[in-house]
Structure 1
Amino acid sequence: MAQMRGNGQALIWRWNDETRHIASQARVALRCALRELGIPDETVGDAVMAAWELTANALEHAHGPYEMRLLRKGPSFVFEIEDSDPFLPVTPSFRDSGVKAVTELPEQGRGLQIVEAFARGRWGFRLSGCEKKVAWMAISSALED
């Protein structure tokens, strides 16, 4: 399922606005792909949780079709979720804000705080070559750090 292509990219899953049971299918597909690629079990759970936050944002604020990918970047991987909305949101700055995610952030801001904590600031948004939005985050492998 998560076999890397020659360009270091693995397609995990594609779906559209009509697809049902997205949450469970996306999480299972990503969990399996990360394990197949050798990401340690202790990292997989957190990676899936953070990746789901980016995916949930795409589902809430954009439209399909959607594509979930992993890219090999040296010893680590980059998770990407692409949607069909070309609008790039403003990336909030959580560093040095003094805000505690669990107690002070409104419900709408907690997901990106999870992504920030997991990816240690290595995440964001960009446009693809087809003018589609891509949300991304780094996932460290066992060989990194």
Structure 2
Amino acid sequence: MAVTQMRDGGQVLIWRWSDRSRDVAPRIRIALRCTLRELGIPDETIEGAVMAAWELTANSLRYARGPYEMRILRKDPLFVFEIEDSDPRVPVMPPSCSSETNAFTELAEHGRGLQIVDKFTRGRWGFRLTANETKIAWMAISTTVNG
């Protein structure tokens, strides 16, 4: 499931799977957690990174079809997590929460995951389309605890 390559001087770790792959969720979370440790991401950052990356991945699994590809690219001083799927539709970010709104209890069921990603990455995330009309969801992971 994992392949390591070098691209543009940065390490890229790739996982590929299809709609028929089994036990994708736990395998991805474990592989991502291990990869971040190997890359020297501080332990204090890993859990948040895995949670935010999983939110982007879960959206791909729920709303798109495979094949899927997950990558981590070194872009000093950050790592960039990417998940690519075959759906060219880009999700719309829900409006930011006001200071009176608790994002985890008061937002509708949909959109809370992207709020988690936004908070963890401090706004360093997004979506882009490829020339092949696939969608890539990405987020930046800081290499420091205070990011």
CA distance in 2, matches of 1:34, 1:85: 27
CA distance in 1, matches of 2:105, 2:60: 25
Sequence identity percentage: 63
Residues 1:28 and 2:30 aligned together: yes
CA 1:134–1:9 in 2, change beyond 3 Å: closer, same or farther? farther
Q: Which residue of 1 aligns with 2:7?
A: 6
CA distance in 2, matches of 1:80, 1:126: 10
Q: CA RMSD in A?
A: 2.0
Return 38-47 or 5-14, whichever deviates more: 5-14
TM-score by length of 2: 0.89
Number of residue equivalences: 145
CA distance in 1, matches of 2:95, 2:139: 15
Find 2:96's aligned residue among 94, 99, 123.
94
Higher strand share: 2
Return 104-113 or 84-93, whichever deviates more: 84-93
CA distance in 2, matches of 1:76, 1:25: 24
CA 1:136–1:109 in 2, change beyond 3 Å: closer, same or farther? same
Unaligned segments of structure 2, at least 5 residues: none
Moved over 4 A (4+): 1-4, 95-98
- In the TM superposition, residue 4 of structure 1 has moved relative to its aligned partner by 5.6
CA distance in 2, matches of 1:76, 1:2: 20
Unaligned segments of structure 1, at least 5 residues: none
CA 1:43–1:134 in 2, change beyond 3 Å: closer, same or farther? same
